[in-house]
C-alpha cells in the first residue's frame, strides 16, 4: 500500500510543469509532480513515487537503496506492476 518507488525524471510535459515522464523500474510513465510544486524537480532528478505522484526528491544513491529494499522485501514485482499500471497502459 505504502510502496514508495524511485524514479528518474526524463522530461517535463506540460507548461505548468506538473506532469513529467519518469523512468520507473525500467518503464517510462507519466508521473504527477503536483505535490512538489514548491521545489519542482527537473530532468535527471530522482524522486520517490507513491500512487502515481512524486512525493519527495531523493538522491541517486537513496534511489538505488530504495530499489534494493523493495527487492529484499519481496515488493519489487509489486513496484514493477504498479509502475506499469500507471496510465492504464498495462
Partner 1 sequence: MRFVDEYREPELVTRAAEEIRRLADPGRHYRLMEVCGGHTHAIYRFGLKDILPENIELIHGPGCPVCVLPMGRIDDGLAIGERENVIFAAFGDMMRVPGARGSPLERKASGMDVRIVYSPTDALKLARMHPDRHVMFFAIGFETTAPSTALTLKRARDEGITNFSVFCNHVTIIPAIRAILDSPDMRIDAFIGPGHVSTVIGCRPYEWIARVEGRPIVVSGFEPVDMLQSIVMLLRQLRSGTATVENQYTRVVPWEGNRAALAAMAEVFELRPFFEWRGLGFISQSALRIRDAYAAWDAERVFAIPGVRVTDPKAAQCGEVLKGVLKPHQCKLFGRECTPERPVGALMVSSEGSCAAYYNYEHRKTAAARVAQPVGA
Query: Residue 67 interacts with partner 1 (CB under 8 A)?
Result: no
Q: In the range 29-58, which residues lie near partner 1 by CB under 8 A?
A: 32, 34-38, 48, 50-53, 55-56, 58
Residue selected from 16, 17, 43, 59 as contacting partner 1 according to rule CB under 8 A: 59
Q: How far is the CB of 43 from partner 1 (least distance, A)?
A: 20
User: According to the 3-state scheme, what is the secondary structure of 14-69?
Assistant: CCCCCEEEEEECCEEEEEECHHHCCCCCCCCCEEEEECCEEEEEECHHHHHHHHHH
86 and 75 in contact (C-beta within 8 Å)? no
Quickly tell me which residue has 512525493 as its cell: 55
Contacts with partner 1, residue ranges (CB under 8 A): 1-2, 4, 32, 34-38, 48, 50-53, 55-56, 58-59, 62, 65, 68-69, 72-75, 78, 81-83, 85-88
Amino acid at each position: 500500500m505504502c510502496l514508495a518507488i524511485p524514479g528518474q525524471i526524463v522530461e517535463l510535459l506540460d507548461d505548468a510543469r506538473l506532469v513529467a515522464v519518469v523512468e520507473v523500474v525500467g518503464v517510462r510513465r507519466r508521473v504527477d509532480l503536483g505535490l512538489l510544486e514548491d521545489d519542482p524537480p527537473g530532468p535527471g532528478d530522482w524522486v520517490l513515487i507513491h500512487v502515481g505522484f512524486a512525493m519527495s526528491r531523493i538522491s541517486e544513491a537513496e534511489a538505488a537503496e530504495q530499489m534494493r529494499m523493495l527487492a529484499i522485501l519481496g515488493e519489487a514485482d509489486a513496484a514493477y506492476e504498479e509502475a506499469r499500471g500507471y496510465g492504464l497502459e498495462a
